[in-house]
Amino acid sequence: MPESLKKLIDIISFLPWIWEKTATKLAFFLLKANTSYINNFANYLQKIKKEIHECKKCYAYTDSKNEFCPICKDSSRDKNVICVIEDYLDLISIEKLKIYNGIYHVLGGAISPMSWIWINDLKIKELLQRIENNDIIEIILATNPNIEWEATAMYIRENIKKDITVSRLSKWLPSSGYIEYADEITLINSFKGRS
Between 72 and 111, how does the x/- string for binding to Zn ion read (CB under 5 A)? Answer: x---------------------------------------
Q: How far is the CB of 130 from Zn ion (least distance, A)?
A: 11
The interface region with Zn ion, picked from 23-31, 47-55, 127-135, 184-192 by CB under 5 A, is 47-55
Minimum Å gap between C-beta 90 and Zn ion is: 14
Query: Is residue 8 part of the contact set for Zn ion (CB under 5 A)?
Result: no
Residue 19: CB minimum distance to Zn ion, A:
35
Minimum CB–partner distance for residue 56 and Zn ion (Å)? 8
d(CA 185, CA 172): 10
**Between residues 4 and 66, which has the closer beta carbon with respect to Zn ion?**
66
55 scored as a contact of Zn ion (CB under 5 A): yes
Instruction: Report the 10 Å Cβ neighbour count for 97.
Output: 13
One DSSP character per residue, the chain reads --HHHHHHHHHHHTSTT--HHHHHHHHHHHHHS-HHHHHHHHHHHHHHHHH-EE-TTT--EESSTTS--HHHH-TTSEEEEEEEESSHHHHHHHHHHT---EEEEE--S--BGGGTB-GGGTTHHHHHHHHHHTT--EEEE---SSHHHHHHHHHHHHH--S--EEEE--TTS-TT--GGGS-HHHHHHHHHT--
Q: 72 or 164: whose CB is closer to Zn ion?
A: 72
Binding-site size for Zn ion (CB under 5 A) equals 7
Nearest approach, Cβ of residue 61 and Zn ion (Å): 9
Show the CA angle centred on residue 79, arms to residues 91 and 94, nearest 5°: 20
Least Å distance, CB 88 to Zn ion, is 11
Task: Name which of 26 and 130 has its Cβ closer to Zn ion.
Answer: 130
Applying the rule CB under 5 A, the residues between 56 and 75 that interact with Zn ion are: 57-58, 60, 68-69, 72
Which range, of 35-43, 51-59, 106-114, 151-159, touches Zn ion by CB under 5 A? Answer: 51-59
From CA 136, how far away is CA 186, in angstroms rounded?
Answer: 27
* Site for Zn ion, rule CB under 5 A: 55, 57-58, 60, 68-69, 72
